[in-house]
């Protein structure tokens, strides 16, 4: 029996060495290279806004945009981090779209992208003109807006008292107009 035990020992030692090599080799594998961004699309406020997106990465990367109106911060990095995307107010009158592309500096062809949309600033009034009796009266009109707004007054509008001259978003404005014996027209710019 002793001879069988001695002949199994070298075999067990050899098997233990092979298992150790396999275990060490499997532990030393690098994780796969990763570069993803979340979410993959965002919409920024019309009056200028900043929004962070999450970049998941284990590589060196750089970011670029196909639109000059979008600011990316930071533009380069190593690993995962929050990326700020910022735009000024969109006064173009039309929706605008940009694509931000994150590209790996370590792995050719590894990239991720996000689409950024921004609607234009919009301010409108419910009435272009508000007729008022010459003896004066109180009238109302509405402001519809997706941004901050201000109604400018002048000498011409001195006899018009507005309930509100600035705001953010939608509002109903009351205008108290004093008597106008000379039938002058007052334009509120």
Q: What is the pLDDT of residue 142?
A: 92
The predicted model gives 87-114 an average pLDDT of 95
How far is the CA of 160 from the CAs of 29, 173, 184, in angstroms? Answer: 77, 12, 12
What's the pTM value of the predicted model, to 2 decimals?
0.65
Long-range interactions of 125-132: CB distance < 8 A, separation 24+:
130/175, 132/177, 132/180
- Position 9 scores a pLDDT of 67
Give the CA distances from residue 163 to residues 125, 175, 183, in Å, rounded to whole numbers and listed in that order: 15, 6, 23
Nearest residue to 60 via CA among 112, 110, 104, 109: 104
Could you tell me the pLDDT band of residue 20, with boundaries at 50, 70 and 90? low
| Mean pLDDT calculated for residue range 135-159 | 86
- Whether the per-residue pLDDT at 30 is higher than 90: the answer is no
Tokens 């272009």 found at: 128
Residue 54's pLDDT band (boundaries 50, 70, 90)? very high
Tokens (6 digits) for 118? 């921004």
Give the pLDDT of residue 83: 98
* Alpha carbon distance 148, 170 (integer Å): 9
Rounded mean pLDDT of 170-175? 92
Closest CA to 102 of 51, 69, 53, 68: 53
Chain centre to alpha carbon of residue 131:
42
Q: Looking at residue 66, what is its pLDDT?
A: 97
What per-residue confidence (pLDDT) applies to 179?
85
Average pLDDT, the chain: 85
């Amino acid at each position: 029996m002793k001879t069988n035990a001695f002949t199994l020992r070298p075999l067990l030692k050899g098997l233990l060495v092979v298992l150790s090599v396999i275990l060490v080799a499997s532990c030393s594998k690098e994780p796969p290279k990763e570069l993803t961004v979340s979410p993959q699309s965002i919409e920024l406020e019309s009056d200028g806004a900043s929004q962070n997106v999450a970049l998941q990465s284990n590589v060196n990367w750089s970011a670029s945009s196909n639109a000059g109106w979008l600011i990316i911060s930071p533009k380069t990095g190593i690993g995962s981090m929050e990326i700020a995307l910022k735009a000024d107010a969109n006064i173009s009158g039309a929706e605008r779209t940009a694509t931000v592309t994150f590209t790996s500096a370590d792995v050719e062809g590894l990239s991720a992208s996000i689409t950024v949309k921004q609607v234009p600033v919009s301010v409108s009034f419910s009435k272009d003109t508000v007729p008022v009796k010459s003896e004066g009266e109180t009238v109302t009109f509405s402001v519809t807006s997706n941004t901050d707004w201000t109604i400018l007054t002048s000498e011409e509008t001195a006899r018009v008292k507005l309930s509100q001259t600035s705001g953010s978003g939608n509002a109903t404005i009351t205008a108290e107009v004093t008597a106008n014996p000379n039938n002058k027209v007052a334009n509120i710019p």
